[in-house]
Amino acid sequence: MPIIQHLIIDQYGAFLGKHSGRLQVTKDKEKLAEAPLLHLEQVLVTGEGIGLSADAVAACCTAGIPIYFLDPRGRPYAALYSAGLTGTVLTRREQLLAYTDHRGIELALAFARGKITNQAGFLRYAAKYRQEAAPEVYDILCRAAEEIRSDLEELTRLTGSTVEEIRNALLTVEGHAAQKYWTALKHLIPESYAWPGRRHRGARDPLNAALNYGYGILYGQIERAIVLAGLDPYGGFLHADRPGKPSLVLDLIEEFRAVVVDRTIVGMATKGMKIELDESGLLTEKSRREIAEKVLERLDADERYERKRQPLRIIIQSQARHIATYVRGDRAAYEPFIARW
């Protein structure tokens, strides 16, 4: 029996139960999957009409295995963890205080710097494989990467005493870089996708739907890392506070969007893998599963980090802990994750 680390449940009418140290997924008395708790790292519920037993939930919480729930568009709507994970106090107090002083500014700038640098890095990474085969595309990607990197200089000019004083200017810089990034990426996408450019909510084209779905999976990883680090997912710095908005999750995810999801989904498209929508404009069950498997596979891939190679999911957890140690004063500065493209 193959070792299952990421259990994906996506079939309508499926049921997740526990049996003798294992999670079992069944449907109409047929066993669809079985995963020993010993090796399991997460459960991803991506379909509708799926049931879970209290025993399965208890077993996952006891073993520290998160259960994530995504709707058909990839929007996270729930996550289950052990209740004890939210029991920390000191880190959260310092996190909230950091919003009012220089720590909030430094964190917001770092998140933006990480995002912009990794966007430029991905363009350069994609360009080097097209230098001979598609020199025009190579030139476009390299030029865009340099223009995006020049936006980093704008970040160094932002001054203020709190993050609220610089947020609008900071988001403007980030937005300009993002516009250049997505415009350049359009040259990588096969014409068969008829990609209209980046669309967020309600996207009804295959590539944007795939990106949004991939971000939803990454979102769960980021949220869990933040909770495990003792931080409040709703107390962000780069993204403004709003009821129900997990601002810190949206902050930290910026460092990893291009590294984890953009690289994966653009790679699927350029390799000719089919990404299909159903008649409702939603990703098909087959496409959802393939995207989830590819993104989770990418999260298990090693990257250079702190002088050694580590899986990206471990790097995400380390970055969340670095935020916590920084706001507590145990770390002199917070540095964003920059991939070695």
**Distances in Å between the alpha carbon of 158 and those of 169, 171, 237, 305?**
8, 11, 15, 28
CA 109 to CA 127: how far, in whole Å? 27
Which range is least confidently modeled, 15-19, 125-129, 200-204, 270-274?
200-204
Q: Which amino acid is it at 225?
A: A
Is residue 188 within 8 Å of residue 126, measured between CB atoms?
A: yes
Whether 137 is covered by a domain: the verdict is yes
- For residue 20, give the CATH number of its domain: 3.100.10.20
CA 85 to CA 117: how far, in whole Å? 32
- What totals of helices (H) and strands (E) does the chain contain, helices first? 10, 10
- Residues 296 and 175 reside in one and the same domain: yes
Is residue 219 within 8 Å of residue 76, measured between CB atoms?
A: yes
- Residues 129 and 60 reside in one and the same domain: no
- Residues 17 and 164 reside in one and the same domain: no
Number of domains in the chain: 2
Range of the domain at 35: 6-65
Tens digits of residue pLDDT in 195-234: 999 988 778 899 999 999 999 999 999 999 999 999 999 9
Compute the average pLDDT of residues 135-159. 95
Give the model's confidence band at 323: pLDDT under 50 very low, under 70 low, under 90 confident, else very high.
very high
Tens digits of residue pLDDT in 161-186: 999 999 999 999 999 999 999 999 99
**Distances in Å between the alpha carbon of 196 and those of 179, 187, 327?**
13, 12, 41
Give the model's confidence band at 39: pLDDT under 50 very low, under 70 low, under 90 confident, else very high.
confident
pLDDT, position 243? 87
pLDDT, position 48? 87
- Residues 55 and 111 reside in one and the same domain: no
∠19-41-303 over CA atoms, to 5°? Answer: 160
- Residues 107 and 249 reside in one and the same domain: yes
- Could you tell me the pTM of the whole model? 0.90
pLDDT, position 1? 55
